[in-house]
Amino acid sequence: MNRSKGKIITHRYASKVLKSNPLKDPYVRDVLVYLPPEYTQSNSKGYIAAFGLVGFGGQGKMLLNADPFAENIEERMNRLISKRKCGPMILVLLDCFTRFGGNQYINSSATGRYEDYITDEIVPFVDKNYNTSAHAVWGKSSGGYGSIILGMRHPDVFQGVVDHSGDAGFEYCYPPDFPKALDAFRKSGGPKKWLNKFWKKPNRHQKNDTLPLNTLGMAAHYSPNPKSKEMGVDLPFDLNTGETIPEVWNRWLAWDPVRMIENYRENLKKLKLIFIDCGIKDEFNLQWGARMLHSKLEKMNIKHFYEEFDDGHMNISYRYDVSLPKIFSALS
């Protein structure tokens, strides 16, 4: 046995809270667990469990994809541990994909109770089956957003938070998508018809589908409305004129981490680690939201780590070399 390698265990978990989800998305899902080399149930100290959340359009198992140009998360963790850059940790990779194209990891009447799924089901499931001592949540893009939201709302569950290029500063990252999303919805006869056509396509990786899918997905999380005929979602703009609908847009802004953190000051103070970073060339303008978060945390005297790096939004998994060791150091 190669002692420098950990192992991946796949669980099939049947969720009670997702069983009645409105999209009829699968409620039995894979939970992938990375165990570090020489993991043992009898270790008296236990192991930090770091729960990984992927970006919009992804599933946790994608972190294990083979890539000839980069390490997957298993290879990266093995190297960090073997070179003593990080101590042994458990990684938990989640699948929260939805018909809307992804997840923001919050409860929504349009998608399902994914916040409850993570905090009330998956974390206790991992604790029951593995030798855990503490929990962190980490992710990139929508996964970074989910991490900072779950951390500030559930400091009793997660003691550490890592937010890589997470959605924040909504007025800069989302409205640039709206005109093309609006055009796509109008041409299809509405968002519901557009989404149905999208899922019938043989190629769902076309660039011109990204913006309407992302806009609809965000609306499903930030402005759900069970009474709406458009799949239980309110859009932040008028489909005929394109005019912004202030009351709906304000519902989006209420979920912006930049606007939320002041209401969660005491919870944020309880966290042992808050790590935020973003590339200065981020294609979705997320560096501005990251800077706003950093500025507000500083003004609130909340201890955190903040870094900017010379890159964009894509292919930045190398940043886990910075954040994963910080999780281990802060929570050990």
Q: Could you tell me the pLDDT band of residue 230, with boundaries at 50, 70 and 90?
A: confident
The tokens of 163 are what?
């937010």
Cβ neighbors of 312 (< 8 A, separation 6 or more) are 279, 281, 282, 283
| pLDDT at residue 115 tops 70 | yes
> CA-CA distance, 137 to 161, in Å (whole number)?
5
- Tell me the pLDDT tens digit for each residue of 150-192: 999 999 999 999 999 999 999 999 999 999 999 999 999 999 9
Residue 229: per-residue pLDDT:
87
Residue spans of alpha helices (H) in 47-176? 73-82, 114-116, 123-129, 142-153, 170-173
Share of the chain above pLDDT 90, in %: 98
- Domain 7-168+256-331: which CATH number of 3.40.640.10, 3.90.79.10, 3.30.365.10, 3.40.50.1820: 3.40.50.1820
How do the domains of the chain map onto residue ranges?
Answer: 7-168+256-331, 172-253
Q: Of the candidates 102, 89, 135, which has an alpha carbon nearest to the alpha carbon of residue 218?
A: 102
Whole-model pTM: value is: 0.97
Strands 107-108, 7-14: pairing kind: unpaired
| pLDDT at residue 2 tops 60 | no
Lowest-pLDDT range, 101-105, 230-234, 261-265, 295-299? 230-234
> Taking the CB of residue 245, how many other CB atoms lie within 10 A of it?
14
| pLDDT at residue 1 tops 50 | no
Cβ neighbors of 280 (< 8 A, separation 6 or more) are 287, 308, 309, 310, 311
- Tell me the pLDDT tens digit for each residue of 270-283: 999 999 999 999 99
Q: Could you tell me the pLDDT band of residue 4, with boundaries at 50, 70 and 90?
A: confident
Q: Could you tell me the pLDDT band of residue 3, with boundaries at 50, 70 and 90?
A: low
- Tell me the pLDDT tens digit for each residue of 66-112: 999 999 999 999 999 999 999 999 999 999 999 999 999 999 999 99
Q: Of the candidates 31, 48, 39, which has an alpha carbon nearest to the alpha carbon of residue 96?
A: 31
For residues 106 and 146, the answer to whether their CB atoms sit within 8 Å is yes
Average pLDDT, the chain: 97
| Average pLDDT estimate for 188-211 | 95
The tokens of 279 are what?
């590339």
